[in-house]
Structure 1
Amino acid sequence: MIDYAWLIPLFPLVSFLLLIIFGKKIREGSSVLSIFFVFLSFILAVLVLIERFSEASVKHKWVWLRAGDVDISFGFEVTALGALMLFIVTLVSLLVHVYSKGYMKGDERLPTFYAYLGLFTFAMLGLVISTNLLQLYIFWELVGLGSFLLIGFYFFKEEAKAAAKKAFIMTRIGDVGLFIGMILIFWYAGSFEYDAIFRAIYTGDLPPYMITITAILIFIGAMGKSGQFPLHTWLPDAMEGPTPVSALIHAATMVAAGVYLVATMFPLFSASTVAMQTVAIVGAFTAIFAASIGLVQTDIKRVLAYSTVSQLGYMMLALGSAGYVAGIFHLTTHAFFKALLFLAAGSVIHAVHTQNINKMGGLQKKMKVTGTLFLIGTLAISGVPLLSGFFSKDEILAATWMNGNYVLFTLAVIAAFLTAFYMFRLYFLVFTGETKTKEEVHESPRVMTYPMIVLGVLAVVAGYINTPWFGTFLGDWLTKDVGFKVEEAHGPVWIMIVATLVSFAGIALAYFIYGKKSISRNWAGGTETSLYNLLKEKYYVDELYNMTVIPITKGIAHVLRLFEVYVVEGIAVLIGSVVKGTSNLGSKLQNGNVQVYGTVTAVSLAVLVIILLYTGGDLR
């Protein structure tokens, strides 16, 4: 079945094309058609994953462009990581497609919505099976296009249009780094193929200083897609899109693309200590930075958005600390519990018609399925023992400690405490206490709850695939295939104990403040403190950009515009005038008068004779 893996991204593309052409005619049937094609992709992805457990990597490529001795190929490759990503992306996409059938019911642009979902899924799956950097970059940009369309789906809302534009521009900034890094690699390695790039590292064709430069440039691209500081500001604003879109973009697809890129190029990063430290530092800082902002958010989706930024920081910290398996492990578990949390949040919004958590409360009684599943997702992301997030986060902490990054380890532990606190703050405010909404609250339909139940089960059991109880299956499988040495993180037991205590401490504090309410919310000064305002305004990063980066960029654009108008266009006008004047002169000479022609011929011959006499016949 691996030889047919190219069909996995093809099915969503077919769905996209059919809906673009016939969507208006089938309308409500568009959901069934789209779900059918994504289901085919999922079934094939499962078969490929099963076969990939026992088979080696499969690679098929064909020459796309040829220039001299350089061949640029296009094809598909199924590595262990690729097979895992195919499974995760198709599963989450399928569940989001099914969930959307209930959430988006009655929307006038339903066919368009499903068409965009198909395009986005196609782009992400194409990225996963790419055989080289250039092919990955093409699908990378298509992912950006798909996210732009989905985030701005409610284009009639100014906030949605602004969010889509912001996401597109911010990620393009990172993409410039990726593009430059890719070109530099091609210049030195002579190829975009992964194997050739890694070979150039070991043979010395890619010098050590260039390894560092290209790795950091590629990481800048990953920072944009995965919302790492300082290119993170687009991700929370992307919540303006439909909630199912948030589950797809912020769980297993777009934001995971940056982590996938770093993991794919891990031999390049691991060959540079500076690059690895850069990835780890940015990841750790982003984890605690975003977690602190999540403490004071009042929009249910924005809380989850900042938790996504924070969790992506954990993944980058793991990769930068040489925890290759830990990073991929957390990517896997995060895909399930974060998709669950977003879909459960969508279920709540669907019922109460608001995203403000201060206007919710007491929903557990009326939405038992949603409330229970949200609690499972919250327990998982908080790192509570025996749930998936506990195992993967523990491995990240172990990798960080074993790599000697003690300061970053401390930041990660603090971020774990903050995560448990703000996630249970969210749970208690939404599902416990008195009901504050005036809406007639009811549980979501089965078409919405069933996908959440599947994710709820995975949020519990997914973590066991890389535990000693199951022979650390995931780590052994991934490391056997990568072709380079990867050490699995096995830290001391006290790290697991500390992580557990920190998690329970965060939960307990949230319970006493927002659950039992035995501690006042103003225990740390309330909403009047400068710290609260700093967090509420997200450290004023957007304001800083508005005062510095944007005016500077506009100034440069204005100068370039003047240069274009007065220099480039001026030269073009001058050349045109000269040509026009010359042609006018020529047209006057070409008047049909034989005497004029004879005179011109005689003068020309005379000039030629004079030149020959002067030079002695030597015209060199």
Structure 2
Amino acid sequence: MSYLYLTILFPLIGFILLAAGRDKLSENVAAVIGVGAVGLSALAALFAGIDFYNVKAALPADSTVLGFNQHLWTWFNVGGFAPAIGLHLDGLSLLMTGMITGVGFLIHIFASWYMRGEEGYARFFSYFNLFVASMLVLVLGDNLALLFLGWEGVGLCSYLLIGFYYANPANGWAAIKAFTVTRVGDVFLLIALFLLYQQFGTLDIRTIVDHASTVLTDSNIAFWTALMLFLGAAGKSAQIPLQTWLADAMAGPTPVSALIHAATMVTAGVYLTSRLFSVFEMAPEILQFISIVGAITLLVAGFAALVQTDIKRILAYSTMSQLGYMFMAVGAEAYQAGLFHMLAHAFFKALLFLSSGAVILACHHEQNILKMGGLWKKIPFVFACFVVGGGALAALPFITVGFFSKDAILGAVYAHATMANLPLYNTLYWVGVIGAFLTSIYTFRLIWLVFFGQEKTHAHEIKGVTYWGPLSILLVLSTGVGGLLKAPVESLLNSAKIPAFIIPESLEHAVHGAEHLAVGIALAGLLLGVVLFVFAYGSVKNIANTSFGAGIAHIWRTAFGFDALYDIVFVKPYLFMARLLGRDPIDGLWLVLPALVKGGHKFTSWRQTGSLREYASSIGLGVVVLLIILVITQVGV
């Protein structure tokens, strides 16, 4: 475990070398440094995992492994507050580290092919390496102060990468939007850290998790702490009301989208809520709120994905939807189900985004799916990747990893309604089923319009091992083969004391029935997609061209108008106040005094004429005024 720090150090060194070299480095050298740094990080994570399993195997069968700590140095010491630069490896952080470095390494390899010939090649990989290093700090930090450092690091890197093509002002605005919206969530998280430190006297994660039930006895403090934590998580993981940045984040290069959606930024919120599960369990109302927000988010995102025409925005809304499922699981206390779906999602979403990148390059940077078609003959391997990735997204039974993860969440939500005597979760289960139905429809629509029908944009052949190699690995992991990881993941999470969701035997039959029903409805959605886009596409377009159809499509396309609402409620009032205060009226008040002095000076200087007659008249007038004042004063006495 002594070399655990290398998982962070390697990509950090890669960032420094690439940032220092910039345009002086050739593309080959930049690719070797950028990809190699994350590859070495993945190797260090692998060795750490092997050591973890060896130590665990040597312990008695009834022992539990809480984790291993590596204290590097004390960060700072202010008034007794002395957070460490220290790393903690347990089952959860090992799972996250493996996902970040493993999937991140594959994305880096693909990016070395995708970004060839682009301006700022070395700069791109410097940001990419820093992104991975920041995410590793977030998941390996043994205290919340260090976690917050990594939290802010991934926010910075998302800004730099979303706005990578800065010559286009729209990309810069998308980067600013992502940075601003996620900063709102970060403020809430910071408030939560203040509350936790006030209650516990420390930000050590293990201390907070182990003693939450005895320290957070004040229900009001527990409520507000849990709420602030979730709102912080909602910002990073694009949950309502802080979801508006994610679709616009597609302005960055496609590998950036893959890294954000699959292995890094958006998973941070799921990790935080699962890591601090004991804090949330002291506020049951917030757990219900988390599930409700996740359900609403997955439904809104599902409808939005139905009508998008940009291939990457469809996938972005699908990510938002799948994150909604993960938070539904957290709210139902099925943390392990949510975390396994996070891992499964990393596989198939990286596969889909990288495959979409290949489609975009093959179609000469075209992203509108309505301008594609007939590509399965031109790029059959990418078509196979889309079929497998889309099948996993739609949770096709038994043959895709999505089936093993998503259905476990829906089953847990259904069971939680009875186990906790909360009928609300029955409603949430049906929302999740409707979300699965929508997912099947928009997934089929995406694949059909891109790969079948008439060819509208001429596509050229693409080749290269750095293109098909990562896709091949992700393709395999997105099939039922990835489902084999479920038992090892549960073992890891059990060793980290992440609670398992145990379904009583009396409910097993009903839960299995609920899971089978969800599968059946998802397959019905797939069948409806076939009917709508294969046999009745003309009728669909005719309905879309009516005033009613166009209105509904507009509402869905704008994801129910949250951007317009925020523009009215926040942006326009802010700009009005900025214009109003642009000249700083407070500062203007202080200018009254010098204005009076200046006016007095102007008046007195105006009276300096040099005429003795005027001076004598003024003196005489002054004497008269003084005499009048004297008389009035004496009379008053």
Q: Same fold (TM over 0.5)?
A: yes
Q: Which residue of 1 aligns with 2:115?
A: 104
Native 8 Å contact 2:137 2:149 kept in 1: no
Q: Name the SS of the counterpart of 1:76 in structure 2.
A: strand
Q: What TM-score comes out, normalization by structure 1 length? A: 0.87
Query: Deviation at 1:486?
Result: 3.4
Question: Hey, what does 1:329 align to over in structure 2?
Answer: 340
In structure 2, give the amino acid aligned to 1:502: I
Describe the superposition over 1:281-316 as per-residue Cα deviations: whole angstroms up to 9, x where unpaired: 101110111011000000000000000000011101
Q: Is the 8 A contact 2:95 2:492 kept in 1?
A: no
Deviation, 1:206, is 5.3
Instruction: Kindly state the Cα deviation for residue 68 of structure 1 after the two structures are TM-superposed.
Output: 4.2
Contact 1:392/1:463 (<8 A) preserved: no
1:549 equivalent to 2:570? Answer: yes
Partner AA of 1:337 in structure 2? F
Instruction: Determine the structure 1 residue equivalent to 2:456.
Output: 436
Secondary structure at 1:457's aligned position in 2?
Answer: helix
Quickly say closer, same or farther: Cα 1:206–1:74, change in 2 above 3 A.
farther
* Cα displacement (A) at 1:70: 3.7
Q: Deviations over 1:379-429 (max 9, x none)?
A: 001010121000100011011111111011110000000001101100000
Q: 1:273 to 1:557 in 2, by over 3 A?
A: farther
| 1:495 partner letter | A
Correspondence for 2:16: 17
Which residue identity lines up with residue 553 of structure 1 in the other structure? Y
- Provide the rounded CA distance (Å) in 2 between the counterparts of 1:252 and 1:548: 33
Contact 1:188–1:206 (CA under 8 A) maintained in structure 2: no
1:176/1:461 CA distance change after superposition, 3 Å: same
What does 1:328-407 align with in structure 2 at a 5 Å threshold?
Answer: 328-353=339-364, 354-386=366-398, 387-404=400-417, 405-407=425-427
1:58 maps to: 68
Distance 1:4 1:239, change over 3 A: same
Counterpart contact for 1:59–1:78, Cα < 8 Å: yes
Question: 1:35 maps to what in 2?
Answer: 35
Tell me the CA shift for residue 521 of structure 1. Answer: 1.6
2:537 is equivalent to residue 507 of structure 1: no
Point out the structure with max Rg over C-alpha.
Answer: 2
| Aligned partner (choices 476, 493, 509) of residue 478 of structure 1 | 493
Q: Residue 247 of structure 1 aligns to a residue in which SS?
A: helix
**Residue 447 in structure 1 maps to residue 470 in structure 2:** no
- Once the two structures are TM-superposed, the CA of residue 461 in structure 1 deviates from its matched residue by 3.8
SS, match of residue 67 in structure 1:
coil
2:194 aligned residue (161, 172, 183): 183
Answer yes or no: is 1:427 the counterpart of 2:455: no
CA displacement, residues 109-166 of structure 1 (integer Å, 9 cap, x when unaligned): 1010111101111101111101111110111001100010000000001111011000
Aligned counterparts of 1:553 and 1:518: Cα–Cα separation in 2: 44
Deviations 1:341-371 (A, max 9, x none): 0000000000112100001011001100000
Cα shift at 1:555: 4.6
Give matches, 1:277-296, under 5 Å: 277-296=288-307
- Alignment RMSD: 2.2
User: Is 1:309–2:328 an aligned residue pair?
Assistant: no
Contact 1:201 1:211 survives alignment (8 Å): no
Alignment partners' CA distance in 2, 1:67 and 1:153:
38
1:487 correspondence with 2:539: no
Shift of 1:525: 5.4
User: SS state of the match for residue 74, structure 1?
Assistant: strand
The 1-side partners of 2:166 and 2:375 are apart by 31
Equivalent residues of 1:465, 1:474 under 8 A apart: no
Q: In the TM superposition, what is the alpha-carbon distance from 1:98 to its structure 2 partner?
A: 0.9
Kindly provide the amino acid, as one letter, of the partner of residue 421 in structure 1. Answer: I
Gaps of 5+ in 2: 57-64, 418-424, 598-637
How far did residue 442 of structure 1 move?
A: 1.5
Which residue in the other structure is 2:230 paired with? 219
Amino acid across the alignment from 1:255:
V
Structure 1 CA distance for aligned equivalents of residues 136 and 340 of structure 2: 19
Of the structure 1 ranges 219-228 and 440-449, higher mean CA displacement relative to structure 2 is found in 440-449
The match for 1:144 is 155
Match among 131, 140, 159 for residue 129 of structure 1: 140
Equivalent residue runs for 1:220-259 within 5 Å = 220-259=231-270
Q: Hey, what does 2:167 align to over in structure 1?
A: 156
Letter aligned with residue 501 of structure 2: E
Task: Give the TM-score of the pair, scaled to structure 2.
Answer: 0.85
Q: Kindly tell me: are residues 527 and 307 of structure 1, through their superposed partners in 2, closer, same or farther at Cα, counting changes over 3 Å?
A: farther
Task: Tell me how far 1:64 sits from its aligned partner.
Answer: 2.6
Structure 1 residue identity aligned to 2:512: V
Letter in 1 for 2:45: A
Q: 1:605 corresponds to which residue?
A: none
| Counterpart amino acid of residue 414 in structure 1 | I
Q: 1:280 to 1:440 in 2, by over 3 A?
A: closer
Q: Is the 8 A contact 1:152 1:164 kept in 2?
A: yes
Q: Which residue number in structure 1 is paired with residue 587 of structure 2? A: 566
Which residue does the alignment assign to 1:598? Answer: none
CA contact (8 A) 1:369 1:443 kept: no
Greater CA drift, 287-296 or 88-97 = 88-97
212-221 or 523-532, which deviates more? 523-532
- Report if aligned partners of 1:283, 1:313 keep a CA contact under 8 Å in 2: yes
Distance 1:321 1:43 in 2: 35
In structure 2, relative to structure 1, the CA distance for the partners of 1:65 and 1:277 (3 Å cut) is same
